Structure 1
Amino acid sequence: MSLRCRLAITAAAGALAAAATVTPAVAGDDWGGHHQNQHSRLYKGVVTADTLLLRSAPNRGSQVIRTAYRGQIVKIYCKTVGQNVQGNPLWYLLPDGTWAWGSARYIDNIGPAPRWC
């Protein structure tokens, strides 16, 4: 099995585990301020692509779960290495509504960079 396949499988398994065990922030939380512990902190980013396809795994071959649009502010739970998109191998796990992966190539951080998954 290639390294790329192993990375994709590992990342997908990690995403499923995270989605099953992590309680997302509730409405009114302050993006990871004093109301949450450090482990559940959420980060922010802004979408830079006209239309960003958010996927079930950190690669462009996985199922599209939903879309985000240029200028949209998204919550980011964590980052991982996945398929390289125009020179950027990082993908962000977004908990907004559904847990989905977005290429970091098309999401600019607002504030600190997200932690590793």
Structure 2
Amino acid sequence: MENSEQVLQLLAEAKVIAQRYYALTKKPLGITGEVAEYEAARLLGVTLASARQAGYDATELVAGKPRTLQIKGRCLPNGCTPGQRLGSIQPDKEWDAVLMVLLDSTF
């Protein structure tokens, strides 16, 4: 099995566990950021940066030039209240744009 296929399989399993955990505890399991980054890469074709890259999570080519992206993810479960927050944006780090990924209750 190819590496990206293995990651997809693990994320699918993690999503099910996170849903079950939330149903039991009403607390998030804490995988939203990782899922948001991977889904951005899968759906939008951005290239993920290495882990712990200061300032940005991914890169993309725009008009032939690389652009760095901070990726912020938020899971909005059914019946959530307005005013949900995203993770903090790091203005003191090097980045070009922020990509917000909104996920439903099934991630």
Q: Structures share a fold, TM > 0.5? A: no
Whose helix fraction is larger, Structure 1's or Structure 2's? Answer: 2
Q: Sort the TM-score into its range (normalised by shorter chain).
A: 0.3 to 0.5
TM-score (norm 2): 0.36
Whose strand fraction is larger, Structure 1's or Structure 2's? Answer: 1
TM-score (norm 1): 0.33
